[in-house]
């Protein structure tokens, strides 16, 4: 393998230092979107962008953007990045290595005296995770003009609206009005990320090239019955919202497991019960559904079956229900020319990384609607993510970042950017 050109020690130090902000336990982090910890993390990363030779600023949607000027500032830009917000019980690497690896790629080119043919932008997108306001990809959707009408009124578990959180963070939602995404402004987007799954480890491969991202469907279901005394209401006369919800949750699991070998996944990750008392029949239950598949036709068919299950369960138990759609995205496939560039550079490194799909969504999912995109996955221990035990070795992160650097350099130097 040719010598590694990026500064792996500097990259490792950046990963370590960022992980100290919002640290929980020995290895976990909690940097919820638009929190004080998130702001502190953004400020630290901003300082590293500036040290690397970029001009850095925070846009109206709380995205941190670093700009490395090229010889043709009017050409479409090459964008690199990911996010630095985390889950409430998250790990050090999810999102963070994509931002810090992108900074390292740019800093390496700067130190080598490279003059890019186009501007290169490194972005730490705001609120990719969606854990605080129950809808993710906020920053990238804001940047690309795809926010929904009620985005700013969404509340967290403490009743804080996203509007209030943005103002506390230092961004004014009033500035949204004057923002318009310029079509064609971005030529391509590259994202480095841990795999968040066990495939690369099972193949004993340090890195992989992503073929596409499964389309996520997020629903919030609220089942309503009638509260009563747990000791006096006969079982045949109950309208138990939790029992009905439990049947739906089990049915979801059975539906997605029905066809062996397919990558369909379904999860209920959050559930609330009212009145939440030991001796009261539950009157109202709200729960989330996360359904994903790389095959949109199969996912749509499963959704239809699930909706039928919900209707049947409601009728059986005398319940009413509402369903809110929080996210609905089609699967999105990586650009063939970017995959070819990644394979070429990996080959020059003496590697043959496998191609694999991504079950989790990423900022790349939204960017795919405005430009070509590609992703590099880094192997993570036992596929663990969204957990303090999340781990990717320094060696594997170095290889992923080196591939990001080499591919970015090929685009902005060898291909001459995106002018045709």
Q: pLDDT tens across 106-125, in order?
A: 999 999 999 999 999 999 99
340-343: long-range contacts, CB 8 A cutoff, minimum separation 24: 341/374, 341/407, 341/410, 341/411, 342/209, 342/374, 342/376, 342/403, 342/407, 343/209
Supply 368's token pair.
């795919």
Q: In 10 A of CB 86, how many CB atoms? A: 31
HEC secondary structure over 226-252 = ECCECCCCCHHHCECHHHHHHHHHHHH
Judge whether 165 and 88 are in contact, CB under 8 Å: no
pLDDT (0 to 100) of residue 134: 87
Q: Which residues of 96-107 are buried (b: 16+ CB within 10 A; e: fewer)?
A: bbbbbbbbbbbb
Q: Right CATH number for 8-214+331-414 from 3.40.50.300, 2.10.70.10, 2.40.290.10, 3.40.630.10? A: 3.40.630.10
Q: How confident is the model at residue 327 (pLDDT cuts 50, 70, 90)?
A: confident
pLDDT (0 to 100) of residue 420: 45
Please report, rounded to a whole number, the percentage of residues in the chain having pLDDT higher than 90.
92
Beta bridge partners of 65: 57, 123
Give the class (CATH, top level) of 216-328. Answer: alpha beta
pLDDT (0 to 100) of residue 312: 98
Supply 398's token pair.
């170095």
Asked whether residue 414 carries a pLDDT value surpassing 80, the answer given is no
Cα 15 to Cα 97, 270, 380, distances in angstroms: 7, 30, 15
Cα 108 to Cα 11, 115, 361, distances in angstroms: 11, 12, 29
- The angle formed by the CA atoms of residues 186, 187 and 191, to the nearest 5 degrees, is 85
**Which residue do the tokens 């939602």 mark?**
173
pLDDT (0 to 100) of residue 62: 98
Chain region(s) in the chain for CATH 3.30.70.360: 216-328
- List the end-to-end C-alpha distance of the chain, in Å, as a whole number: 33
**pLDDT tens, position by position, 360-406:** 889 999 999 999 999 999 999 999 999 999 999 999 999 999 999 99
Asked whether residue 416 carries a pLDDT value surpassing 80, the answer given is no
Supply 386's token pair.
């969204």
DSSP-assigned letter for residue 118: S
3-state secondary structure of 376: strand
Q: How confident is the model at residue 177 (pLDDT cuts 50, 70, 90)?
A: confident
pLDDT (0 to 100) of residue 112: 97
Asked whether residue 292 carries a pLDDT value surpassing 60, the answer given is yes
Asked whether residue 419 carries a pLDDT value surpassing 70, the answer given is no
Residues 226-235: what's their mean pLDDT?
97
Nearest to 369 by CA among 144, 130, 113, 96: 144
3-state secondary structure of 197: coil
Average pLDDT over the chain reads 96
Residues 133-155: what's their mean pLDDT?
94
Chain region(s) in the chain for CATH 3.40.630.10: 8-214+331-414
**pLDDT tens, position by position, 51-69:** 999 999 999 999 999 999 9
Cα 176 to Cα 131: distance, rounded to the nearest angstrom = 23
pLDDT (0 to 100) of residue 361: 84
Asked whether residue 2 carries a pLDDT value surpassing 90, the answer given is no
**pLDDT tens, position by position, 150-168:** 899 999 999 999 999 999 9
Residues 258-278: what's their mean pLDDT?
95
Rg (CA), the chain: 23
Judge whether 188 and 418 are in contact, CB under 8 Å: yes
**Which residue do the tokens 């926010």 mark?**
147
3-state secondary structure of 140: helix
Q: How confident is the model at residue 216 (pLDDT cuts 50, 70, 90)?
A: confident
Cα 207 to Cα 205: distance, rounded to the nearest angstrom = 6
């Amino acid at each position: 393998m040719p010598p590694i050109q990026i500064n792996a020690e500097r990259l490792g130090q950046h990963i370590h230092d960022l992980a100290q902000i919002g640290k929980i336990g020995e290895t976990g982090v909690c940097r919820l979107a638009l929190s004080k910890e998130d702001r502190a993390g953004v400020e630290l990363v901003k300082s590293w962008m500036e040290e690397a030779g970029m001009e850095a600023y925070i846009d109206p949607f709380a995205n941190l953007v670093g700009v490395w000027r090229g010889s043709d500032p009017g050409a479409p830009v090459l964008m690199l990045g990911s996010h630095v917000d985390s889950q409430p019980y998250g790990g050090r690497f999810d999102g963070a290595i994509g931002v810090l690896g992108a900074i390292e790629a740019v800093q390496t080119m700067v130190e080598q005296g490279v003059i890019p043919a186009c501007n290169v932008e490194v972005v730490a997108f705001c609120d990719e995770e969606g854990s605080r306001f129950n809808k993710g990809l906020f920053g990238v959707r804001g940047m690309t003009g795809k926010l929904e009408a009620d985005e700013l009124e969404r509340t967290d578990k403490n009743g804080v609206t996203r509007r209030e959180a943005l103002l506390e963070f230092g961004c004014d939602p009033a500035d949204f009005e004057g923002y318009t995404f310029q079509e064609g402004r971005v030529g391509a987007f590259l994202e480095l990320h841990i795999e968040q799954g066990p495939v690369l480890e099972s193949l004993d491969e340090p890195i992989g090239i992503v073929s596409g991202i499964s389309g996520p469907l997020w629903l919030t279901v609220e089942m309503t019955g009638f509260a009563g005394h747990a000791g006096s209401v006969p079982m045949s006369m109950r309208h138990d919202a939790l029992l009905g919800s439990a049947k739906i949750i089990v049915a979801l699991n059975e539906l997605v497991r029905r066809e062996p070998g397919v990558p369909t996944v379904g999860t209920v990750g959050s559930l609330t019960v009212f009145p939440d008392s030991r001796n009261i029949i539950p009157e109202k239950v709200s729960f989330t559904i996360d359904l994903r598949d790389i095959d949109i036709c199969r996912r749509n068919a499963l959704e239809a079956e699930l909706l039928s299950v919900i209707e049947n369960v409601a009728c059986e138990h005398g319940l009413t229900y509402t369903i809110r759609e929080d996210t609905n995205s089609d699967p999105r496939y990586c650009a063939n020319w970017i995959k070819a560039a990644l394979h070429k550079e990996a080959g020059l490194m003496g590697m043959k990384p496998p191609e694999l799909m991504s079950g989790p969504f990423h900022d790349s999912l939204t960017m795919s609607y405005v430009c070509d995109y590609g992703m590099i996955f880094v192997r993570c221990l036992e596929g663990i993510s969204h957990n303090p035990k999340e781990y990717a070795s320094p060696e594997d992160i170095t290889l992923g970042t080196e591939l990001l650097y080499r591919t970015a350099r090929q685009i902005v130097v060898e291909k001459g950017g995106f002018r045709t």
